[in-house]
Structure 1
Amino acid sequence: MGDEDAERREANRAFVEAFSTFGTDALRDVWLFDQQSHERLYVRDDVDEKVADVDVSRYVDNERYGYVTRDTYSDLHYADYAYTVRGFDGFEQFRTFLREGDRRIGTFGSFDRREGGYDFGALNDALAEVTADYPLDAFAPE
């Protein structure tokens, strides 16, 4: 069990580092979720204060609809679905799914808005590089 725990910690550290390298100080939070649970990997202190009174599990439940919309997009489009970005008045949220066969684990993270925006395709590519180095179970929320 110790080796699996160490691999999980290393995978999650590398995952958060990919988000952090992409967004630098603008990174607000990073989460993992599956169809039953969710896990917070990183939340910046000022954001933690803002979400202290928020029902995070309800928010994550909404993100789980992405399991359905991902399949819908795959059926309707000639291209593969990669990620979703939502804009809010103070930040932008990125969501994607890590895949291994039919199994998927969702992730989302948010970034302070910035002039010129972000190249979220580059973030998606960076996350794919990190996740290729670990088994999908290493990212499963506890």
Structure 2
Amino acid sequence: MDDATEALVATFQSFGEGALRDVWLFDQWTHQNLYLRADIESQLSDLDVDAFIDNERYGYITRDTYESLYARDYDYTVRGFASSELFRTFFADDDTRIGVLAGFDRREGGYDFAALSAELQTILDEYSVTELVPTDDTE
């Protein structure tokens, strides 16, 4: 990892306080796993990660749709599952769009995902979106 991706993972780790399950970067063509907790790694062995990330790519369309319908910037999406929550956001500049996906164990009282989103945006004050372009994890 480089400085930008290390800062990204550190932000998720600080926010999740041990509940962070995984962190992924993706663009329209490829994806990269930045963090995977050991107990989650064994669960992914039977999962089609490519199909999972492809599903998250629909978020590019959703983001554009929401921004055009509501005339506001899209910030993030959260989906809840029986024992975990999945957070997705996008970073963009004029030419590059990067999706960021992170899973967390569910916890009583939930999370302040708006605060996480704001904290992640501060990373772009120090790093460019192009520094977060994923390397190909699919090979």
Give the TM-score taking structure 1 as reference length: 0.92
Deviations 1:67-122 (A, max 9, x none): 00100001111432100000011100000001112521000001000011000011
Determine whether 1:49 maps to 2:42: yes
The answer for the alignment partner of 1:137 in structure 2 is 130
The answer for the alignment partner of 1:30 in structure 2 is 23
8 Å contact 2:96–2:130 — kept in the other structure? Answer: no
Determine whether 1:107 maps to 2:100: yes
8 Å contact 2:90–2:100 — kept in the other structure? Answer: yes
The answer for the alignment partner of 2:79 in structure 1 is 86
Determine whether 1:77 maps to 2:70: yes
SS at match of 2:2: helix
8 Å contact 1:15–1:131 — kept in the other structure? Answer: no
Which whole-Å CA distance do the structure 2 matches of 1:50 and 1:92 have between them?
15
Which whole-Å CA distance do the structure 1 matches of 2:93 and 2:123 have between them?
14
Structure 1 unaligned spans of 5+? 1-7
8 Å contact 1:31–1:108 — kept in the other structure? Answer: yes
The count of aligned residue pairs is 135
Cα RMSD over matched residues? 1.0
Structure 2 unaligned spans of 5+? none
Deviations 1:1-27 (A, max 9, x none): xxxxxxx61111110000000001000
- Same amino acid, percent of matched pairs: 51
Which whole-Å CA distance do the structure 2 matches of 1:69 and 1:18 have between them?
25
